[in-house]
Amino acid sequence: MPLMTKEAAKRLSALQLAFMGDTVCDLLTRTNLMFRDIKVKDMHTCATKIVNARAQAAALESVKHLLDEDEADVVRRARNAHLGHNVPHAASREEYLDATGYEALMGYLYLTGQMRRAQLLYELSLIKEKSNA
């Protein structure tokens, strides 16, 4: 069930969408890890390898050709948003901007009731990541 219309979600700032999307990415990752044969004490380590700027930038790269016009617009807006803080040392500026775009996309999909679409894009990015490993 959508929490807001697409129009209302588009009125949010890209950084608000990314703020929500950060949690969505974390939730999808933790849910995915629950179904792996992995010790609970190792789950956090695995999660941090997936929910970070470099990995999220790679995730966006692997699915951006699948995005519709609205989704691509959300990503573009987020990449162009003024971040207001420095880029972490673990990622390049481009990676951080792409990661912000990916998080905003996930936030937009969640808020507009499109969690199946968010899950699909997330899972496709994991498949692509595994095939490149």
Which residue type sits at 25? C
The phi, psi pair for 13, rounded to 5°, reads -70, 155
Q: What's the rounded Cα separation, in Å, for the pair 9 and 38?
A: 36
Task: Supply the DSSP symbol for 113.
Answer: T
Residue 125: partners with Cβ closer than 8 Å, 6 or more residues away: 58, 59, 60, 62, 63
Q: Is 68 a catalytic residue?
A: no
**Which among 22, 37, 42, 73 is annotated as catalytic?**
22
Reduce the DSSP state of residue 40 to 3 states and report it: helix
Two tokens, residue 60:
């966006």
**CA geometry: angle at 92 spanning 88 and 94, to 5°?**
115
Active site residue ranges: 22
